[in-house]
């Protein structure tokens, strides 16, 4: 499995927040829900995204925006529209004075807005817990990115939009999986359509030396790797492999492996049924103490503390 496939295997929505917003100007939504990842697709009409400290971006029909939290941003009919609606943690919707708008703006099953016939319709999906997404994937994404209609496979949005209006048995789980697929499609196309967007580890996957080396590490992360054993498996000298890691990835091979192991450990620690000892074994540490020492050295907190923060 390549690195990107491994990270995209991570999104697992569980009771994600999904909504169709139908709006007539003037409208402006201040998104300050601190969610780790959100996606918005314009079905009809247009919208402007105004990230903190960045230039506004216009969205047209079929365009998708992916936002990585917890930084706030605004979505509005115009880039200079003052926020009228505030989306707070837990998806609580209020006006500027803090009065609830949840009942006032409800338009039916998973639909919301200020006009049921509004010119603009936006489908949004929000992962409200970091448990659902790989931390490494989140770190690889910009605060906000946009894919235009022709830049990604948005066919799933039609299905998602239609299913959001239904209220069948098992519908929440069905919608969660559809949201996962939409997010995977958007992130995959973001990385693959423009090499300059992708992080170094993604570009390294196509390197004739680093590509095989990275796949070996990712496929057998718990193996007691050394630079020598990795170089022998790839069929190059230790010096040549070390140079490629430093040149392309900007760090030594064993430092990269440590980061890979601790990223995986951080994800596994979200699983309440896995003991810290079991996590240590899965990521190549001989004992919980060894994992704890490495985890605290690199991340500044113990595995137990990390588990408590993300649980």
- pLDDT tens-digit map of 107-142: 777 788 888 899 999 988 888 766 556 677 777 888
The three-class DSSP label of residue 11 is coil
Q: Which of 160, 159, 124 is nearest to 20 (CA)?
A: 124
* pLDDT at residue 36, rounded to an integer: 85
The band of 74, judged by pLDDT with boundaries at 50, 70 and 90, is very high
Mean pLDDT calculated for residue range 249-258 = 93
Query: What distance in Å separates the CA atoms of residue 85 and residue 75, rounded to the nearest whole number?
Result: 10
179 or 282, higher pLDDT: 282
The band of 6, judged by pLDDT with boundaries at 50, 70 and 90, is low
Query: What distance in Å separates the CA atoms of residue 12 and residue 44, rounded to the nearest whole number?
Result: 28
Strand arrangement of the beta sheet that strand 120-127 belongs to: 106-108, 111-113, 17-23, 120-127, 37-44, 64-68, 144-147
* pLDDT at residue 125, rounded to an integer: 86
DSSP state, residue 47: E
| Cα-based distances in Å from 146 to 143, 191, 301 | 10, 12, 34
* The model's pTM: 0.75
pLDDT digits (tens, 9 = 90+) for 158-213: 888 888 877 777 788 888 888 888 888 888 888 877 777 777 777 788 889 999 99
Cis bond upstream, residue 53 (ω within 30): no
* pLDDT at residue 303, rounded to an integer: 92
* pLDDT at residue 12, rounded to an integer: 60
* pLDDT at residue 11, rounded to an integer: 53
The band of 8, judged by pLDDT with boundaries at 50, 70 and 90, is low
* pLDDT at residue 253, rounded to an integer: 95
Mean pLDDT calculated for residue range 224-251 = 94
Query: What distance in Å separates the CA atoms of residue 165 and residue 111, rounded to the nearest whole number?
Result: 8
The band of 30, judged by pLDDT with boundaries at 50, 70 and 90, is very high
Other CB atoms within 10 A of residue 208 CB: 9
| Cα-based distances in Å from 103 to 108, 111, 112, 225 | 10, 11, 9, 57
272 or 295, higher pLDDT: 295
* Cα dihedral sign, 20-25-27-28: positive
Q: Which of 184, 142, 136 is nearest to 8 (CA)?
A: 184
At which residue do the structure tokens 């499609």 appear? 185
From first CA to last CA, the distance across the chain in angstroms is: 28
């Amino acid at each position: 499995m390549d690195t990107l496939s491994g990270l995209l295997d991570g999104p697992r929505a569980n009771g994600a927040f999904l909504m169709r917003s139908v709006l007539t100007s003037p409208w402006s939504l201040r998104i300050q829900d601190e969610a780790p990842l959100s996606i918005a697709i314009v079905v009809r009409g247009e919208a402007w995204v105004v990230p903190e400290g960045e230039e506004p971006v216009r969205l047209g029909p079929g365009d998708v925006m992916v936002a990585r939290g917890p930084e706030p941003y605004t979505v509005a009919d115009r880039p200079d529209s003052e926020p009228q609606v505030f989306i707070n943690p837990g998806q609580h919707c209020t006006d500027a004075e803090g009065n609830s708008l949840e009942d006032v703006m409800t338009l039916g099953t998973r639909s919301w807005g200020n006009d049921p016939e509004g010119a603009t319709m936006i489908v949004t999906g929000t992962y409200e817990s970091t448990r659902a997404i790989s931390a490494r994937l989140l770190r690889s994404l910009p605060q906000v990115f946009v894919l235009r209609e022709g830049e990604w496979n948005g066919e799933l949005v039609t299905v998602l939009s239609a299913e959001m209006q239904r209220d069948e048995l098992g519908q929440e789980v069905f919608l969660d999986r559809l949201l996962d697929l939409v997010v995977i499609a958007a992130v995959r196309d973001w990385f693959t359509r423009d090499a300059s967007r992708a992080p170094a580890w993604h570009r390294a996957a196509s390197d004739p030396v680093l590509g095989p080396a990275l796949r070996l590490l990712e496929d057998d992360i718990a193996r007691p790797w050394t630079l020598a054993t990795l170089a022998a498996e790839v069929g190059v000298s230790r010096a040549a492999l070390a140079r490629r890691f430093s040149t392309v990835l900007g760090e030594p091979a064993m430092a990269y492996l440590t980061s890979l192991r601790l990223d995986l450990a951080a994800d596994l620690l979200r699983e309440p049924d896995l003991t810290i000892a079991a996590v240590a074994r899965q990521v190549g540490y001989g004992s919980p103490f060894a994992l704890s020492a490495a985890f605290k050295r690199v991340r500044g907190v113990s595995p137990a503390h990390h588990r408590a923060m993300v649980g």
